[in-house]
C-alpha cells in the first residue's frame, strides 16, 4: 500500500501468454511511489515484441519524483521517447521489419491523474458504479466508427479490426493522446492489453471491478480477470493492472 497526502493506493497486476501464443510480448510496470502504472503490448515477433514492450517499462520505471502532474507527464513522455529510439534501433527494424508496442499509462500526482496512451491497450475507470473507458483505441476500425462509416455491429466482425494506427517505435516519433482528471475516493482503474478486451465485454469488466467495492483485493480481481480470459480461449497475451484509490482520513 502506497500513499500520498490525499490518497492511499492498492495495486494488483497479472500477465499471461494466453492459450495460443508461445511467448508473452506484454509487459507491465507499477511504481506507486512515483504515481505511475503502465501496460505495454509489444509486436514484432519472437524477441522483438518482447524487446519493444520491455524497453518502455524499463525506461519509464526511472521517471522519479515529480513536482506536478504536468512535470510527471513531461518526465514520462521524455522516457517514452527514449524507449521509442531504442526500439527504432533494434536490428529487425534495420532489416525492414516492424517492431513496436502499444502503451497505456496512468499517472497520478496528489489528487489529479492523467491517462497517456498509444494503440489499442485501454484504461477504464469505475467510479460510483459507472464504468467509463478513458482511452479511445488507435485502430482503423475505431476511426471508421468515429466517422460513422460503419456500425457497432459491423465493427465486431470487421476484417481489419485489430489493425492499429499508433504505436511506440513504429513511426518517426511516439504519438500519444493524453487526458487529465481529478481523483475521487473509491476510484478503481483498470489498465489492460487487448488480449483481455477481446474476450471480456465492458459489462464483464464492470462486474469484476465492482467486487473491489465489496471488499475484494485488487490482486484477487486481477487474477480473476486473467482466469476468465484464459477460460474463454485467450487468443492473445493478456495483461491487466488494477489500482484502487482511497482517500486519506479527512481528505478529499
- The pTM is what? 0.94
Asked if the structure places residue 9 within a domain, the reply is: yes
Q: What is the DSSP code string of the chain?
A: -EE-SSEEEEEEEEEE-TTT-SS--EEEEEETTTTEEEEEEEESSTTHHHHHHHHHHHHHTT----SSHHHHHHHHHHHHHHHHHHHHTSHHHHTT---EEEEEEEEEETTEEEEEEESS-EEEEEETTEEEE-S---BHHHHHHHTTSS-HHHHHT-TTTT-BS--BTTSSS---EEEEEE--TT-EEEEE-HHHHTT--HHHHHHHHHHHHTT--HHHHHHHHHHHHHHTT--S-EEEEEEEEEEPTT--
Predicted pLDDT of residue 248: 87
Residue 3 neighbours by CB under 8 Å, 6+ apart: 9, 248
How far is it, in rounded angstroms, from Cα 249 to Cα 225? 30
Domain CATH number, residue 34: 3.60.40.10
Q: How many domains does the chain have?
A: 1
Residue 15 contacts residue 28 (beta carbons within 8 Å): yes
Q: Is residue 250 part of a domain?
A: no
CB 220 within 8 A of CB 199: no
What pLDDT score was predicted for residue 93?
76
pLDDT at residue 161 in the model: 72
> In the sheet that 2-3 helps form, which strands lie side by side, from edge to edge?
2-3, 7-16, 238-247, 188-192, 122-127, 130-133
Q: Does residue 108 fall inside a structural domain?
A: yes
State how far the Cα of 124 lies from the Cα of 189, in Å rounded to an integer: 6
Domain-located, residue 101 = yes
- Is residue 252 assigned to a domain? no
How high is the pLDDT of residue 2?
62
Q: What is the pLDDT of residue 233?
A: 97
* Per-residue model confidence (pLDDT) at position 162: 77
Instruction: With respect to residue 10, please indicate whether it lies within any of the assigned structural domains.
Output: yes
Asked if residue 251 is part of any domain, the answer here is no
Q: Which pLDDT score, from 0 to 100, does residue 252 have?
A: 53
pLDDT in tens, the chain (252 residues): 666 789 999 999 999 999 999 999 999 999 999 999 999 999 987 679 999 999 999 999 999 999 999 999 999 999 999 999 999 998 887 677 789 999 999 999 999 999 999 999 999 999 999 999 999 999 887 878 777 777 677 767 776 777 899 999 998 889 999 999 999 999 999 999 999 999 999 999 999 999 997 789 999 999 999 999 999 999 999 999 999 999 987 555
pLDDT at 215: 80
Tell me, yes or no, whether 221 lies in a domain: yes
- Chain-centroid distance, C-alpha 205: 14
Q: Which domain holds residue 150?
A: 2-245
Amino acid at each position: 500500500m502506497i500513499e500520498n497526502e490525499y490518497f492511499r493506493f492498492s495495486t494488483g497486476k497479472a500477465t499471461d501468454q494466453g492459450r495460443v501464443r508461445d511467448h508473452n510480448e506484454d509487459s507491465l510496470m507499477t511504481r506507486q511511489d512515483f504515481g505511475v502504472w503502465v501496460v505495454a503490448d509489444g509486436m514484432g515477433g519472437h524477441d522483438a515484441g518482447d524487446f519493444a514492450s520491455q524497453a518502455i517499462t524499463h525506461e519509464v520505471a526511472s521517471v522519479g519524483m515529480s513536482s506536478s502532474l504536468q512535470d510527471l507527464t513531461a518526465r514520462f513522455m521524455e522516457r517514452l521517447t527514449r524507449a521509442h529510439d531504442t526500439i527504432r534501433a533494434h536490428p529487425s527494424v534495420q532489416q525492414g521489419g516492424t517492431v513496436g508496442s502499444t502503451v497505456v499509462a496512468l499517472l497520478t500526482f496528489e489528487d489529479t491523474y492523467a491517462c497517456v496512451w498509444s494503440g489499442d491497450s485501454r484504461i477504464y475507470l469505475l467510479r460510483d458504479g459507472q464504468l467509463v473507458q478513458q482511452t479511445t483505441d488507435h485502430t482503423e476500425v475505431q476511426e471508421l466508427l468515429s466517422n460513422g462509416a460503419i456500425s457497432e455491429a459491423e465493427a465486431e466482425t470487421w476484417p481489419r479490426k485489430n489493425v492499429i494506427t499508433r504505436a511506440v517505435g513504429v513511426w518517426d516519433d511516439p504519438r500519444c493522446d493524453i487526458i487529465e482528471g481529478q481523483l475521487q475516493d473509491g476510484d478503481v482503474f483498470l489498465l489492460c492489453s487487448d488480449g483481455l478486451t477481446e474476450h471480456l465485454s465492458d459489462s464483464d469488466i464492470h462486474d469484476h471491478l465492482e467486487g473491489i467495492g465489496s471488499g475484494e483485493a485488487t490482486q484477487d480481481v486481477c487474477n480473476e480477470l486473467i482466469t476468465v480470459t484464459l477460460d474463454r480461449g485467450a487468443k492473445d497475451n493478456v495483461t491487466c493492472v488494477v489500482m484502487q484509490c482511497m482517500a486519506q482520513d479527512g481528505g478529499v
